[in-house]
Amino acid sequence: MKRLKNFTLIAVIALVGFVACQPAVQENETNDNEKKERVTMKDLKGPHALGDLPYSHDALEPYIDKQTMEIHHGKHHQAYVNNLNNAIEGTDLADKNLEEIFKNMSQHPTAVRNNGGGHWNHTLFWEIMGPNGEGKPSGDLLQAIENRFTSFESFKEEFEKAALTRFGSGWAWLIVDDNGELQVTSTPNQDNPLMDVADMEGMPILGIDVWEHAYYLKYQNKRPEYVANFWNVINWDAVANNYEKVRK
């Protein structure tokens, strides 16, 4: 009988203990959810912000479709901005500009590399595209391209080759290197030639995003078609402007 009493007592203590633990568990779950929500709200107020597209979402039709532009700018680029703000919050990178950070990229966290690169690269990408692309540069930039690559056509071939041979996700670039020379190069993921981890360093003046998210809805697996059509949406005035800025 005494044994049974002890057993009952233990069972009651165990039950009380179990019940007492329940609110604690639920409270933790609630706190986690609240925390996630707070982080998301805070992202919007971070030091980096998504800029507006310099043209409408359908302006690059029929070469780049409206839906791709909406998702690419509004979802993908926004996510890079949010994740970047999250990654630098409370660190000494929070008040540095991206180009400064890229110089010592190898010493910083991967999240800053991926999302900082993502923010910078896409900002350039939107800027160097536009409707009514004339398909060819002029003036000093054309001269420099012809001097370096023999002709505009052979520059196009080299640039397309860089875009097509970049395995998986990444970018192809036209850059001005430290000697002021134009070079074609490519980088994986969201890296770019401003980063100390790049094979070839320099200032990008033109770039093409060859991640599948940039073309898959319209072109599916046909990256060559997307790359060939890219020439129809390049704003060469913007590229020439970038080139002039580097030379100053």
Outline where DSSP puts E strands in the chain.
170-176, 182-188, 203-209
Distance CA 183, CA 243 (A): 12
Distance CA 207, CA 190 (A): 12
Q: Which residue, 87 or 214, has its beta carbon nearer to Mn ion?
A: 214
Helix, strand, coil shares of the chain, percent, nearest 5, are 60, 10, 30
Residue window 219-248: x/- pattern of binding to Mn ion, with contact defined by CB under 5 A: ------------------------------
Minimum distance from residue 18 beta carbon to Mn ion (Å): 51
The number of beta carbons lying within 10 Å of the beta carbon of residue 243 is 22
107-146: contacts with Mn ion (CB under 5 A): none
Q: Which residue, 105 or 214, has its beta carbon nearer to Mn ion?
A: 214
Residue window 182-221: x/- pattern of binding to Mn ion, with contact defined by CB under 5 A: ---------------------------x-x--x-------
Q: How far apart are the first and last CA of the chain?
A: 96
Q: Which residue, 214 or 239, has its beta carbon nearer to Mn ion?
A: 214
Q: Which residue, 112 or 182, has its beta carbon nearer to Mn ion?
A: 112
> By rule CB under 5 A, what count of residues binds Mn ion?
3
Residue 188, strand partner residues: 170
The number of beta carbons lying within 10 Å of the beta carbon of residue 91 is 12
Minimum distance from residue 150 beta carbon to Mn ion (Å): 31
The residues that touch Mn ion, with contacts defined as CB under 5 A, are 209, 211, 214
